[in-house]
Amino acid sequence: MIKAVIFDMDGLMIDSEEISYTCYNSLLEKENLTLSKELYTQFLGKSVENGFHLIEKNYHIQIDIEQALMDFREIMQRIVDEKGVALKKGLIELLQYLQEHHYQTIIATSSNLIRVHQLLDDKVFERFDDIVCGDEVTKGKPDPEIFLKACQKLGVEPNEALVLEDSEAGIQAAYNASIPVICIPDMKYPETPYQEMTTRILDSLDQVIDFLKEN
């Protein structure tokens, strides 16, 4: 029986992946480099810091990670202030349903808490019972630690939870935690091995309501 629903944030709840892509490229302009969309798909579900490590590895450059993270946040804040961040289709409807039917809810994101508050409207954030951020775990997705910690915080067993994810790293993490996972793809549709790890692949968050009614 499902008692709790665990939400990823970027690309699942909010349309933030394109913003992050723009931020990375703004910083790479100083090196006369452009981050390809193909490489960026490897960043999905992972922390910004890990993104910079992947850039170092693939472009054979050295980055002052601490400074890059500060610059990244500044660029993102400017974009958010100017344009805002769109919520994903069906998010509010799903959260209302979960509240009305007494499901516990938690965010499990590779982002740190500063970035969460930067991107997520307080009215949405307040609808959740708890949160686990990337800086609360020692290993990021696809390691299962973040989802197991989410279950621990809510006091539920893995088989009593449901993970909602958009990335392959997140799907793998949920699968490794033995937690059922539904994928709502964003920038990349999961490859076949990851499709097989999912319980369902849906087009939007409001479709999760029908899944819960069925189960």
Domain CATH for 138: 3.40.50.1000
Check whether residue 76 and residue 110 sit in a common domain.
no
Q: What pLDDT, on a 0 to 100 scale, did the predictor assign at position 152?
A: 98
Are 98 and 155 within one domain? yes
Q: Tokens 């990375």 appear where? A: 24
pLDDT of residue 47: 85
Contact in structure between 168 and 194 (CB atoms under 8 Å): yes
Rounded to whole angstroms, the Cα distance separating 23 from 151 reads: 32
Q: Is 210 exposed, middle or buried (0-12, 13-18, 19+ CB in 10 A)?
A: exposed
**Strand order from edge to edge, sheet including 200-201:** 130-132, 104-108, 4-7, 161-165, 181-183, 200-201
**Same-domain status, 78 and 105:** no
- The domain in which residue 170 lies consists of 4-15+87-214
Query: What is the number of alpha carbons within 13 Å of residue 129 lying toward its C-beta?
Result: 18
Q: Are residues 191 and 157 in the same domain?
A: yes
Of 67, 83, 99, the position where a domain reaches its end is: 83
Residues 109 and 201 in one domain: yes
139 shares a domain with 42:
no
46 and 116 together in one domain:
no
Q: Domain check: are 128 and 200 in the same one?
A: yes
Please report, rounded to a whole number, the percentage of residues in the chain having pLDDT higher than 70: 100
Kindly provide the b/e burial profile for residues 108-130, where b requires at least 16 CB atoms within 10 angstroms of the residue's own CB: bbbbbeebbebbbeeebeebbee
Could you give the number of structural domains in the chain? Answer: 2
Residues of the chain with pLDDT under 50: none
Q: Same domain, yes or no, for 29 and 110?
A: no
Please give the Cα distance from 168 to 151 (Å, whole number): 20
| Same domain assignment for residues 138 and 185 | yes
What is the pLDDT at residue 16? 87
**Are 39 and 126 within one domain?**
no
36 with 9, same domain: the answer is no
Q: What is the pLDDT of residue 30?
A: 86
